[in-house]
Amino acid sequence: SLIANPGMASYEWTTGAQTPLINITNGGTYGVLVTDSNGCSGSGNFTVQISEMEIEFTREDPTCFGEDNGFIRIDEVKGGLEPYQLSWDGGLYGSANMLSPLSAGVYNLNILDAAGCEYDEDFNIYEGFELMLNHEEDQFIRFGDKVQINAQINIPDAQITNLTCRT
């Protein structure tokens, strides 16, 4: 919106509007001629630049299946007019640029700039990888016996750092 000094006798905007306030939806140059009750006039031109907001971010999924150690971090906001206010998943606006810890799901970010322009984006956080282990048929062993278990797994051996057997 652009507002000319209220209380004048007349307003003539280059858009054709004749009110003190006009709403701006496009960038460009806007001019206004104002006249007071004594017939004195003044004019002014305003250039409005509308800049789309863009973000740079880092997103990390949970390390393992069922965990909640993922995160989304906004590294930089470009465009718009500072300062920026961020709202995660419809919460209160603030300056928090990171949402964590996260489990799998869709998370929403809304950014509001100083001019009232908004940027909205959904982020997908994917489930961590589920390790599947298939073993041979059940074996019954007695305490102290040694057996070799031939397991089939669904990830490359090089990605396994530790396997633990729970009873």
Q: What are phi and psi of 158, to 5 degrees?
A: -65, -20
pLDDT digits (tens, 9 = 90+) for 83-139: 999 999 999 999 999 999 999 999 999 999 887 889 999 999 998 877 766 666 777
3-state secondary structure of 159: helix
Predicted structure pTM score: 0.60
Residue 101 pLDDT: 97
| Distance separating alpha carbons of residues 118 and 100, to the nearest angstrom | 23
Asked if 18 contacts 11 with a C-beta cutoff of 8 angstroms, the reply is yes
Percent residues over pLDDT 90 in the chain: 39
User: Which amino acid does the sequence have at 150?
Assistant: N
- What average pLDDT does the segment 39-49 reach? 85
Q: What are phi and psi of 144, to 5 degrees?
A: 95, -15
3-state secondary structure of 62: coil
Q: Higher-confidence residue: 157 or 32? A: 32
Retrieve residue 107's tokens. Answer: 């998370």
Nearest to residue 122, comparing CAs of 100, 105, 102? 105
How far is CA 69 from each of CA 44, 61, 91, 163, rounded to the nearest angstrom? 55, 7, 20, 21
Q: Higher-confidence residue: 157 or 55? A: 55
Nearest to residue 106, comparing CAs of 91, 86, 121? 121
The whole-angstrom distance between residue 153's C-alpha and the CA centroid of its chain comes to 36
Residue 134 pLDDT: 64
- What burial class does residue 99 get, using C-beta atoms within 10 Å of its C-beta: 0-12 exposed, 13-18 middle, 19+ buried? buried
- What average pLDDT does the segment 15-39 reach? 86
Nearest to residue 154, comparing CAs of 137, 122, 130, 127? 130
pLDDT digits (tens, 9 = 90+) for 124-159: 999 887 776 666 677 777 888 887 766 666 677 777
